Amino acid sequence: MMKPEDFPADDLLKAALAARSHAHAPYSGFKVGAALRDAEGRVHAGCNVENSAFPQGQCAEATAIGVMVASGAKRIAEILVVADGPETVTPCGGCRQRLVEFADPMTPVHLAGPEGVRATVTLGELLPRAFGWRQVTPEAKPEDKP
């Protein structure tokens, strides 16, 4: 596991905390923020959005990915997820798969609480042997990847 101090992510934490403050979590009360740094260094943030029809909610990571794609970016260079509580929060399984679409196995994923980064892992550690673009289009070159 990487050490949090190896990857200062203050700007990502600030963006994720700001997004988290706007989370719509009336059912669980569990507010989450996420921030992504794209390949050009731009930061994109999102929060969780719950819905009374529970499967229709959206995770913070999915919101941040949507914001990133809407801005024209397609590659994630770094990820931060923040939530409050005694346990370190990681992206859910669905969001891990969403992140794999736009990031590489060595992409740093910072797991944070409101006080700062608690741990840093790679996306490959979170989702080893992920299904992705290589399985769908094995002849594609990395630059052809979405």
Q: Where in the sequence numbering do the catalytic residues fall?
A: 61
**89 vs 113: CA distance, rounded Å:** 8
Which residue(s) pair with 80 in the sheet? 35, 110
Q: Look at the alpha carbons of 107, 133, 91, 31 in this order and tell me if their dihedral is positive or negative.
A: positive
**109 vs 106: CA distance, rounded Å:** 9
